[in-house]
Amino acid sequence: MSFRAQPKGSQSEPSGAVEESAVLSPAQLQSISTYIDLLLRWNARINLTSVRDPEEIVTRHFGESLFAARCLFPSTIHVGADALVRPTGKLIDLGSGAGFPGLPIKIWNPSLHITLIESNHKKVAFLREVIRALGLTDVNVFAGRAEDFPPDRQPNTTVTLRAVENFGTILPVAARLVPPSGRLALLIGESQVEAASKLVGGFEWSKPAHIPLSTARVLWVGRNRA
């Protein structure tokens, strides 16, 4: 899987706002390249991810995370002014590990305020190194258990969770962090959807979106109706 650079808006496009195409700017591509280099270097010393092939890292980790970013935070381009408008808000990435999907979402939408929750201190050190190396701002790392993180009360908060160990235990914790009208975004196997629906109540769920280049993984987004 490869990423393309962001082209300039076409003057032949109709006036108004149009959806941004699934491309990245040269600066974003450079950030991802630096991120991958750091991940490969650190992964040789500590177990950040079981995926070690660079092409698979791009497809599985970055591709999946950027798919979620585009679905959760679609941007618009105001044609004529050639101005890219990105939605604001907060994102809490629970069990962030090596930073997925939280940090690629931040690369996609720099205007977001991101909190990464990770209890493994070696992974916390890696996350802080990536944040420093990429010059990211408005990114906090909570070095502790999700159960100890205070719930957010801002309605424009999105909580993300990828498939993790002890899914049945951590999913209700993730749901607790979602404020009223906030969103819970799950990157999980399609076979986990039914189990997830039984574990979490009070959410209005969208149709699971199949992740490109994956045969069995989906993005499933629910809004807290409380």
Tell me, rounded to whole angstroms, the distance of Cα 197 from its chain centroid. Answer: 21
Q: What is the pLDDT of residue 32?
A: 96
Residue 226, pLDDT score: 80
Distances (CA, A) of 70 to 16, 23, 76: 20, 10, 11
Q: In this predicted structure, what is the pLDDT of residue 7?
A: 44
7: Cα within 13 Å, side-chain hemisphere:
6
Show me where the domains of the chain are located: 17-224
Q: Which two tokens stand for residue 110?
A: 């720099």
Domain 17-224 CATH class label:
alpha beta
In order along its 226 residues, the chain shows pLDDT tens digits of 445 545 444 333 333 444 444 578 999 999 999 999 999 999 999 989 887 787 888 888 999 999 999 999 987 655 555 566 677 899 999 999 999 999 999 999 999 999 999 999 999 999 999 999 999 999 999 999 999 998 878 888 999 999 777 888 999 999 999 999 999 999 999 999 999 999 999 999 999 999 998 889 999 999 999 8
d(CA 224, CA 226) in angstroms, rounded, equals 6
pLDDT at 148: 95
151 closest CA partner among 94, 219, 110, 225 = 94
Q: How far apart are CA 180 and CA 2, in angstroms?
A: 37
CA distances from 94 to 10, 30, 136 (A): 39, 26, 19
Q: Which helix (H) or strand (E) holds 218?
A: strand 217-224
**Which residues, in sequence order, are bridge partners of residue 217?**
189
- Cβ burial, residue 215 (10 Å; 0-12/13-18/19+): exposed
Can you tell me the distance from the alpha carbon of 201 to that of 133, in angstroms, rounded to the nearest whole number? Answer: 40
Q: Is residue 192 within 8 Å of residue 220, measured between CB atoms?
A: no
The H-or-E segment that residue 66 falls in is helix 64-72
